[in-house]
Amino acid sequence: MKESPLAPLVLDGWFVLHQFVRIVPGAETDENASSRLRALADLVARHESPDEEGWTGVYRIVGGGTDYMIMHFRPSLEALGRAEREFARHPGWQELIPTGDYLSVVELGLYHVSAALVEEAGAQGIEPHSAEWTALVEARMQVELEKRYVQSRLKPEQPEEMPYVCFYPMDKRRAVGQNWYELPLEERARMMGEHGSVGRRYAGRISQIISGSVGFDDWEWAVTLFATDPLDFKSLITEMRYDRASSVYAEFGPFWTGYRIPAAELAAEWAG
């Protein structure tokens, strides 16, 4: 197989904004502030159920210098911007103190598909980035897009049986001797395959959303995990630290961990 430094093919899905907020001190005991927060909970309820326009969820964060994570999924950057503005202009938003946010787009990396296409193209004498290569890629991407499980990953939903959440950003290293981007595509595909095999052992216990943020935010990817048991976050991430994709080439940002607050319970939660 011909070695290639090509970037892997990816499929992009919903845009996602993670917002981190704290409650204004005393808002829970102020009647007017509590009324505004109850109205904000009603706004969350209108967007909580996933549909073709996306969804919004609220999560109580334990530690991490914040109180809540509000997560918005929308089909376009414009729709995500409208959601951000709708919440920011709501009277209840004045009872929240923003502590940070993160912008990304749901991403499905196709490392093995990419490596297979490079091999197929090489066998046919097709050069990467040529018209023939573009046609080959477009045909294969269409096949992938028509798969039901691919669509479910590009438009993810909150698993009802997994109330716990863990969010963190990450990079791939670009250090001398540890530069992910200098490795041949085939080697990267092999390591990501090993990395993915660890995650598959947690099927039914953890659900994962990978979102790309190159050009959107300060890190290259964001990872959102849902689980039935928060200890599974610790187990999975510990186990993954021992594969080469993580141990040699990954840099991790801060972690935020908590649990979902259904919209029906949000007014009581915000009332203290």
pLDDT digits (tens, 9 = 90+) for 201-218: 999 999 999 999 999 999
Lowest mean pLDDT among 1-15, 196-210, 241-255: 1-15
Q: How many CB atoms lie within 10 A of CB 122?
A: 14
- Taking the model in full, what pTM does it have? 0.94
Tell me: do 152 and 228 sit in the same domain. Answer: yes
Would you place residue 1 in the very low, low, confident or very high pLDDT band (cuts 50, 70, 90)? very low
Tell me: do 196 and 229 sit in the same domain. Answer: yes
- Evaluate whether 26 touches 46 at the Cβ level (below 8 Å): no
Tell me: do 76 and 152 sit in the same domain. Answer: no
Instruction: List 60's β-bridge partners, or say none.
Output: 68, 259
- Evaluate whether 198 touches 240 at the Cβ level (below 8 Å): yes
Tell me: do 144 and 237 sit in the same domain. Answer: yes
What letter does residue 88 receive in the DSSP assignment? Answer: H
% the chain with pLDDT above 70: 98
Rg (CA), the chain: 21
Quick check: is 9 in a domain? Answer: no
Would you place residue 2 in the very low, low, confident or very high pLDDT band (cuts 50, 70, 90)? very low
Tell me: do 206 and 231 sit in the same domain. Answer: yes
Tell me: do 61 and 125 sit in the same domain. Answer: no
Residue that the structure tokens 């990304």 belong to: 104
Which residue range is the domain that position 249 belongs to?
A: 108-260
Quick check: is 6 in a domain? Answer: no
Tell me: do 161 and 234 sit in the same domain. Answer: yes
Would you place residue 172 in the very low, low, confident or very high pLDDT band (cuts 50, 70, 90)? very high
Q: How far apart are CA 218 and CA 69, in angstroms?
A: 18
Task: Give which of 272, 268, 267 is closest to 40, Cα–Cα.
Answer: 267
Quick check: is 235 in a domain? Answer: yes
Tell me: do 162 and 252 sit in the same domain. Answer: yes
- Evaluate whether 151 touches 12 at the Cβ level (below 8 Å): no
What CATH number is given to the structural domain containing 201? 3.30.70.1030
Quick check: is 4 in a domain? Answer: no
Residue 45 neighbours by CB under 8 Å, 6+ apart: 263, 264, 266
Amino acid symbol at 114: S
Overall average pLDDT of the 2-9 stretch: 70
> Which is more confidently placed, 166 or 177?
166
Tell me: do 235 and 167 sit in the same domain. Answer: yes
Active site residue 68: no
Would you place residue 129 in the very low, low, confident or very high pLDDT band (cuts 50, 70, 90)? confident
Tell me: do 31 and 145 sit in the same domain. Answer: no
Q: How far apart are CA 246 and CA 244, in angstroms?
A: 5
Q: How many domains does the chain have?
A: 2
Q: Which of 59, 164, 168, 202 is catalytic?
A: 168
Q: How far apart are CA 31 and CA 24, in angstroms?
A: 13
Tell me: do 254 and 265 sit in the same domain. Answer: no
Task: Give which of 180, 206, 198, 204 is closest to 240, Cα–Cα.
Answer: 198
Tell me: do 98 and 205 sit in the same domain. Answer: no
Quick check: is 236 in a domain? Answer: yes
Quick check: is 2 in a domain? Answer: no
Amino acid symbol at 52: E
> Which is more confidently placed, 232 or 112?
232
Quick check: is 245 in a domain? Answer: yes
